[in-house]
Amino acid sequence: MLNMAAGLARLGDLAASPVVATLAQAFADAGHDLAVVGGPVRDALLGRTTNDLDFTTDARPDDILRIVTPVSSAQWDIGRAFGTIGARVQGEQVEITTYRADSYDGETRKPTVEFGDTLEADLTRRDFTVNAMALRVPDVRLVDPTGGVEDLVAGVLRTPIDPRVSFGDDPLRMLRAARFSAQLGFAIEEGTLAAIADLRETLAIVSPERVQGELTRLLQTDDPVRGLRVLVETGLIDQFLPEIPALRLEVDEHHHHKDVYEHSLTVLAQAIEHERARHPDAEPDVKLRLAALLHDIGKPRTRKLEPGGAVSFHHHDLVGARMAKKRLQALRYDGETIGSVSKLIELHLRFFGYAEGAWTDSAVRRYVRDAGDELERLHILTRADVTTRNRRKAARLAHAYDDIEARIAALREQEELDAIRPDLDGNEIQRILDVGPGPVVGQAYRFLLDLRLDEGALGPEEAERRLRAWWAEQG
């Protein structure tokens, strides 16, 4: 329950903070209005911490820059065309934007920028009522023209105006509804939810980069599953990640398998739990969370109904890795993220062979080598992928994974497993075989690496003996 007295006290603390007080005085001295707006006001009322300070003013961009320059250590005007000036004040980064009244034309991906004249009109054009509140400074007055406080109390997300008009102005707001539902734990008002379902296809006018940004922010929340359910239930996710609703495979009376969609959401939730347990103070791991969400997207394409009622998904790991790579490229994710996620999906089944029977040291070394920099994430993903209700099976898998992690740690202590290399490098191979650079050196290197993985360190002399024997066999 929202404690208004405590919330208003926190607003007073916000207004008295060095950054806000400095800017409030500077704009007042220049004869302009200033207000803290959006997330910082919402979070202060809720008692949540906020990392970003956003301001709005009646001053135009050139005037904003002139006012903030004397009280800031740096300024940037990359958002000048949209009325936004950035600055570093008292060591904190802030953004100050002229009152806006812009809208989309329904065909292009960029808004038509129009500056407004009043704070109330600016707030009305914002995405949701809980984000459409402002704190006027320096007089410390809460401005809430659309009922944001009431919706905070009720835990509801609602647009300040008709949702069809609001989402028509910027379809990305539909994605933001799912994100804020997950971030705040709020329900989406019925009419707003219906508008998302009706207008889902208008998301096509929004650039992939902006869609990707919202998907990433959703995955960074404490409970992204809540927002993903909104996206699936409204059909909005079909516009940019159709592989997720495709996981809701039909099950007939003769063939039975677990609900892959629900399983994937459970794996995501469990991966987040493991992530927090291992690294409680770290930033949310988007690569891990994407991999957890997408790890089984190859199943619909590889599903085969077997005699006797069994269902198989042979090679869904490899197929899913390729599908994830293609989809993440379409969403304009960076190459490092795409590589990490696709590798995790490709390798996510590897461990289950270990659970069926203990691996040799060679198999463990190969597992570590193939995982490379993704080993820690692969540990978490594989543990999270156990969603069985069979307690005996779950305990057996957990024990097997404890065992493999212990063996990896022991091997790492013995031989620096993270940097496994053959006993001889490329130059030594060329010298011993009396060959120049070329395919032969690569073949010899792989032969020696396999020996290293199978038998551990051999030492240069034994490695040379084995290499010469191998070379003789090649004729």
Q: Which amino acid is at 403?
A: D
Same domain for 40 and 107, yes or no, is yes
What's the rounded Cα separation, in Å, for the pair 6 and 425? Answer: 67
What is the structure's pLDDT at 253? 42
Least confident piece of the model among 91-95, 133-137, 425-429 = 425-429
Same domain for 346 and 273, yes or no, is yes
Domain end marker among 128, 150, 172: 150
What's the rounded Cα separation, in Å, for the pair 162 and 362? Answer: 63
Structure tokens at 244: 């997720």
What's the rounded Cα separation, in Å, for the pair 195 and 223? Answer: 23
What is the structure's pLDDT at 1? 57
* Contacts of the segment 147-152: beta carbons below 8 A, 24+ positions apart: 148/42, 149/2, 149/4, 149/45, 152/2, 152/42, 152/45, 152/46
**CA nearest neighbour of 144 among 117, 116, 124:** 124
Q: Examine the pLDDT at 196 and tell me if it is beyond 50.
A: yes
How many other CB atoms are there within 10 angstroms of residue 315's CB atom? Answer: 12
Buried b (16+ CB within 10 A) or exposed e, 33-69: bbbbbbbbbbbbbbeeebeebbbbbbbbbebbbebbe
Higher pLDDT, 424 or 102: 424
Q: Examine the pLDDT at 377 and tell me if it is beyond 60.
A: yes
What is the structure's pLDDT at 418? 53
What is the structure's pLDDT at 324? 97
How many other CB atoms are there within 10 angstroms of residue 203's CB atom? Answer: 20
What is the structure's pLDDT at 52? 85
User: pLDDT, tens digit, for every residue of 220-278?
Assistant: 999 999 999 999 999 999 999 999 999 987 554 444 456 899 999 999 999 999 999 99
If you average pLDDT over residues 104-129, what whole number do you get? Answer: 79
- Confidence band (pLDDT; 50, 70, 90) for 434? confident
What's the rounded Cα separation, in Å, for the pair 468 and 365? Answer: 25
Same domain for 256 and 198, yes or no, is no
User: pLDDT, tens digit, for every residue of 124-134?
Assistant: 999 999 999 99
What's the rounded Cα separation, in Å, for the pair 129 and 112? Answer: 22
Q: Please provide the average confidence, as pLDDT, over all residues in the chain.
A: 89
Same domain for 105 and 210, yes or no, is no
Most confident of 6-15, 311-320, 338-347, 403-412: 338-347
Q: Examine the pLDDT at 112 and tell me if it is beyond 80.
A: no
Asked if residue 240 lies in contact with residue 331, where contact means CB atoms within 8 angstroms, the answer is yes
What's the rounded Cα separation, in Å, for the pair 217 and 25? Answer: 34
Percentage of the chain beyond pLDDT 90 is 62
What is the structure's pLDDT at 6? 85
Asked if residue 437 lies in contact with residue 430, where contact means CB atoms within 8 angstroms, the answer is yes
Q: Which residues pair with 57 in a beta bridge?
A: 98
**Helix, coil or strand: residue 128:** coil
Domain end marker among 124, 150, 176: 150
Asked if residue 20 lies in contact with residue 14, where contact means CB atoms within 8 angstroms, the answer is yes
Q: How far is CA 18 from the centre of its chain?
A: 32
What's the rounded Cα separation, in Å, for the pair 409 and 421? Answer: 18
**CA nearest neighbour of 326 among 350, 302, 297:** 297
Same domain for 8 and 106, yes or no, is yes
Burial classification of residue 168, based on how many CB atoms lie within 10 Å of its CB (0-12 exposed, 13-18 middle, 19 or more buried): middle
Q: How many domains does the chain contain in total?
A: 4
Same domain for 222 and 309, yes or no, is no
What is the structure's pLDDT at 455? 80
CA dihedral for 219, 224, 229, 230, sign (positive or negative): negative
Same domain for 259 and 181, yes or no, is no
Same domain for 408 and 463, yes or no, is no
What is the structure's pLDDT at 252? 45
Domain end marker among 133, 150, 167: 150
DSSP string across 418-434: GG---SS-HHHHHHHHT
Q: Which amino acid is at 20?
A: V
Q: Give the pTM.
A: 0.82
Q: Examine the pLDDT at 110 and tell me if it is beyond 70.
A: no
What is the end-to-end Cα distance of the chain in Å, rounded?
81
User: pLDDT, tens digit, for every residue of 290-349?
Assistant: 999 999 999 988 888 777 667 778 889 999 999 999 999 999 999 999 999 999 999 998
User: pLDDT, tens digit, for every residue of 22-79?
Assistant: 999 999 999 999 999 999 999 999 998 877 899 999 999 999 999 999 999 999 987 8
What is the structure's pLDDT at 230? 98
Same domain for 212 and 282, yes or no, is no
Structure tokens at 319: 């197929």
Burial classification of residue 188, based on how many CB atoms lie within 10 Å of its CB (0-12 exposed, 13-18 middle, 19 or more buried): buried
Q: Examine the pLDDT at 93 and tell me if it is beyond 60.
A: yes
Residue 348's CATH number:
1.10.3210
Same domain for 198 and 125, yes or no, is no
- Which residue shows structure tokens 């293609």? 326
Q: Examine the pLDDT at 105 and tell me if it is beyond 60.
A: no
Same domain for 14 and 83, yes or no, is yes
Least confident piece of the model among 149-158, 303-312, 385-394 = 303-312
Bond before 284 cis per omega within 30 degrees: no
Please give the DSSP secondary-structure letter assigned to residue 348. Answer: T
Same domain for 142 and 33, yes or no, is yes
Whole-Å CA distances, 185 to 77, 228, 361: 35, 13, 47
Higher pLDDT, 343 or 401: 343
Domain range for 171:
155-240
